[in-house]
A and B are shown apart, each in its own frame.
Chain A
Amino acid sequence: MTQDMTQIFFDSPQDAPPRGNWNWGRLAVYALLILWSVICLFPIYWTLTTSFKMAPDVMKGNMIPWGDFTPKWLGWRSLGLSPDTWGAESTVRAEFLKRFANSAITSVTSSVLAVVLGSLAAYGLTRFSYKFGYMKNSDISFFFLSQLILPPVVLALPMLVLYKELALLDTRIGLILLYTLSVLPIVIWIMRDQFASIPTDLEEAALVDGLSIWGAFITIILPIALPGMVAAFILSLVLTWNEYFFAALLTSTHANTLPVMVASQTGSQGISWWSMAALAWAAILPLIVIGVVLEKYIIKGMVAGAVK
């Protein structure tokens, strides 16, 4: 199944573009595709150009750089990220970089944690039969996957009180724990699918050769399951990087993540469009890069378990 998946999305020679016969149907398909691409890409383009505009350009709605407005570093200067402010001290930039670091640390750590815990659980569930009390394998799987239904708001207020008592409020560790929890079901979903596609003969051979179960898992199975783990990791990264609700509720000054910073700026009076645009663009840039470079893995993660 996983093997098929990479094949399915691989632009192989047999689905190379057919030549000739342009008809209205094909034209309509292209029109639809181009229209939707514009819908998807225009907001990103608009934000990027706005970050280089001056006030009159924003008011007039100019859109084409060098065509109807001259790009200025205004937005980026207010963030302290333009070339001329790069060397100088900037409190805004320090603030931005701190938030950026918080976002990066929480999302990467929680994704790694979720992939480790989730892969182990998924491997166990696909290979061994368990019995914890009345819980069998399918019950345990259901227990993990059912966490997906749990809306964050149910945990939010109890967690707020618990974290307050545990002095975990406004710490990165507190956020990391909750983020790991929220992506764990997705990781288990993807990894179960991945491990199920690996034949058990491999481990059986390894065990005959004298490896222990954990030895076989680490040296033989993990390298094969790596694509699935990368897919799960990337998907977790995207979800945790964008998370806003818990971050807004549980952090205040030290562990604020980037989405909280973006949201807190929008509320303030007299928005300066260019600096907000620069901030929003900087917040989404890492994900645009990931999306373009690692598109294959994201798709792989999303379709795991969907097609049987």
Chain B
Amino acid sequence: MSGAGDLLHVVSNDTISARRKTFARLTIWGSGLLMLGVGAAQTLHSTGNAALGFENWRPTLYAYVAWAICLCWGQVLLHGENGKRTLFVLPAALFVISLTVFPLLFGLIIAFSDWNLSSPTGRHFNGLDNVRQMLADPFYWNAMTNMVWYTLAILVEYAIAFGLALALNAEIRARKFFRVAFLLPLMLSPVAVSWMIGKSMLEPRFGPVARLARELGWENPSFFGDPIVAKATIMIMDAWTFIPFMMIMILAGLQAIPKELSEAAKVDGATGWRAFWEVTFPLMLPVSITAILIRIIFKLKLADIVIAVTSGGPGGATDTVTSFIFREYRDRSNVGYGTLLAMVYLVVIIIAMTLLMKLADRITRPRT
């Protein structure tokens, strides 16, 4: 995460007149005050203290955008060349802050209130009621446990991806064809995949996979009836989409291993299995860990396949946290409770990912 590459060292000496500085400050503060003013007026209107005839909060949004533009422009006016450098990062930073930090703060308010969007009474605080409801909600904790299982499935995906990467890395013909074929599942929309595989190919009566299962001796193949089988099926469908991702990263790692190293191992008499465990695998550890960490991040967002195929069934066996909250909102349109669940999930993820990254750091650091 350290600053990659050399920094550009340019000395610039602009002389910025006092008048220009005053103008810049006036622009930034003026537009900021305008934004606050519009915001305050709208708050008064929405609380019913003043009838100003606003239809929605758009005016505040426009005032915010105007302020953001003035802030960027003001940087150049105030700091000259340095301001132009700030201009590289500032737009992206403002964009991300306004779309994550602000909603997150807003979400904290929603999380502790009872707010049914379809009821006319609107939002009101209900203290810790949502927390109590969450603690007593077996389905939420069930979804959390499912996430642990789904995440553990990544180890199997990793093993398969590694095997495929090794096969692709071998001296083979038609490598480009295999690479494209292996990559395709990643490109397909998960919702379309859920129909193609989940609904069509796994159809218990005439789906080709069910037919194959019957040939192999499974009397009444049903892929979403039994909780364990259903969970496994979702895992397999998700693995089908994302194995290419890990495979490509591992393949890149494999091809970055210097040829001399594997040849040296061969000279030393390490062949096949031993060469893999003692040379290739340790060398691949950093890439593997990056691939697994990124895969975990994507896995924690898993929802669309579950929503489209089982909508959590049977009995919540396939629920992910995201699909559970999605249904919770769809069924009761209560934003408050759903937001609290999501916030708790975020905290759990941050703690878990921090621990994992610490662990990964310890594993990859060269032993002395």
Contact = CB atoms under 8 A, between A and B. Distances in A.
A151 interface: yes
Interface size class of B (residues with CB under 8 A): 35 or more
A40 B181 contact: yes
Given A276-B200, A302-B245, A259 B192 contact: yes
Contact of A124 (B85, B176, B197, B249): B85
A302 B249 contact: yes
A147 B322 CA distance: 17
Given A160-B335, A200-B6, A302-B248, A147 B96 contact: yes
B99 interface: yes
Nearest to A126: B5
Nearest to B290: A306
Interface string B297-321: 1001101100110000000000001
B103 A162 contact: yes
A227 B35 CA distance: 40
Contact of A118 (B61, B86, B92): B92
Interface string A121-156: 101111111101000011011111101111111111
A92 interface: no
A68 B187 CA distance: 30
Contacts, number: 341
B287 interface: yes
Contacts of B343: 154
B213 to A, nearest CB: 13
Contact of B189 (A126, A147, A259, A291): A259
B170 A29 contact: yes
B2 interface: yes
A165 B168 CA distance: 52
B335 A144 contact: no
The interface residues of chain B, by DSSP majority, are classed as: helix
A88 interface: no
B264 interface: no
Contact of B345 (A143, A154, A164): A154
B307 A154 contact: no
A43 to B, nearest CB: 5
B84 A307 contact: no
Interface stretch (B25-33, B218-226, B251-259): B251-259
Contacts of B240: 39-40
B103 A60 contact: no
B267 interface: no
The 7 closest A-B pairs by CB, nearest first: A124-B88, A196-B5, A121-B92, A196-B4, A158-B107, A303-B252, A242-B189
Interface of A: 4-5, 8-9, 11, 15, 17-18, 26, 29-30, 32-33, 36-37, 39-44, 46-47, 50, 58-61, 63, 117-118, 120-121, 123-130, 132, 137-138, 140-145, 147-162, 164-167, 177-178, 180-181, 184, 188, 192-193, 195-200, 203-204, 207, 212-214, 238, 241-242, 244-245, 248-249, 258-260, 262-263, 266, 271, 273, 276-277, 280, 283-284, 287-288, 290-292, 295, 298-299, 302-303, 305-308
